[in-house]
């Protein structure tokens, strides 16, 4: 909470980027303590690694300090409120949390729950499922994230060319 509040309060965008990286590393540590090594690794790599690099790349093209905005952006507030209301409305349709009759429990979930330890010998069911049963899917997701990061970095590394337009008055002045 302290790091999150510091991000909100700071006006130096470089400091905010570093605080976001610290927040991601703390989240990764929390996931590691909760025995979710796959989620911890993903948070550390994507949250603290790639995201921080991309934000720092963007900061090379922007000013370092945030400029205060006067007034209120009512359109942005309306978009946030409508989106939030839509999400709350959509969450009313979700099945009851923990109900054994939920659709998620009717497919392969019961097999994973019953057979994971016997098949894999790994006590962490999530890590066993992601590393064994869904390993190709997890590898594909990693490639997608890596490719997206490279594409964004490639787009940000191209400096825009600034051509100065010639006005007819300038050409007339050069001819005389």
3-state SS assignment for residue 12: strand
87 occurs within a structural domain:
no
What long-range pairs does 43-49 form, CB within 8 A, spacing at least 24?
Answer: 46/145, 47/21, 47/23, 48/21, 48/24
Q: Are residues 2 and 60 in the same domain?
A: yes
- DSSP 8-state code for residue 162: -
Tokens of 176: 């005389």
27 occurs within a structural domain:
yes
Helices vs strands, H then E, count in the chain? 9, 0
Last residue of a domain, one of 68, 89, 121: 68
50 occurs within a structural domain:
yes
Q: Are residues 52 and 113 in the same domain?
A: no
60 occurs within a structural domain:
yes
- pLDDT for 170 equals 52
- Residues 6+ positions from 149 with CB-CB distance below 8 Å: 50, 53, 54
Taking only the tens of pLDDT, the chain with its 176 residues reads: 888 888 888 888 888 888 988 988 999 999 889 887 778 888 888 888 888 888 888 888 777 777 777 777 889 889 999 999 999 999 998 888 878 788 776 777 777 778 888 888 877 877 777 777 777 777 777 787 788 778 777 777 766 666 555 555 555 555 54
What long-range pairs does 79-84 form, CB within 8 A, spacing at least 24?
Answer: none
1 occurs within a structural domain:
yes
Q: Are residues 6 and 58 in the same domain?
A: yes
82 occurs within a structural domain:
no
**Cβ burial 3-25 (10 Å sphere, 16+ → b, else e):** eeeebeebeebeebbbbbbebbb
Q: Are residues 2 and 63 in the same domain?
A: yes
47 occurs within a structural domain:
yes
153 occurs within a structural domain:
yes
Domain count, the chain: 2
- Write out the residue range of the structural domain in which residue 148 sits: 107-158
- pLDDT for 175 equals 54
- pLDDT for 69 equals 72
- pLDDT for 168 equals 57
């Amino acid at each position: 909470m302290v790091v999150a509040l510091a991000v909100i309060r700071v006006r130096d965008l470089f400091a905010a980027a570093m605080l976001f990286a610290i927040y991601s590393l703390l989240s990764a540590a929390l996931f590691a303590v909760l025995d979710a090594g796959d989620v911890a690794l993903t948070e550390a790599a994507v949250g603290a690694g790639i995201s921080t690099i991309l934000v720092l790349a963007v900061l090379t093209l922007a000013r370092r300090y945030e400029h205060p905005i006067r007034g209120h952006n009512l359109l942005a507030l309306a978009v946030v409120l409508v989106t939030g209301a839509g999400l709350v409305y959509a969450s009313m349709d979700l099945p009851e949390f923990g109900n054994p009759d939920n659709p998620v429990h009717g497919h392969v979930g019961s097999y994973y729950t019953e057979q994971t330890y016997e098949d894999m010998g790994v006590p962490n069911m999530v890590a066993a499922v992601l590393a064994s049963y869904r390993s190709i899917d997890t590898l594909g997701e990693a490639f997608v994230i890596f490719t997206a990061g490279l594409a964004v970095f490639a787009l940000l590394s191209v400096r825009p060319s600034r051509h100065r337009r010639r006005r007819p008055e300038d050409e007339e002045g050069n001819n005389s």
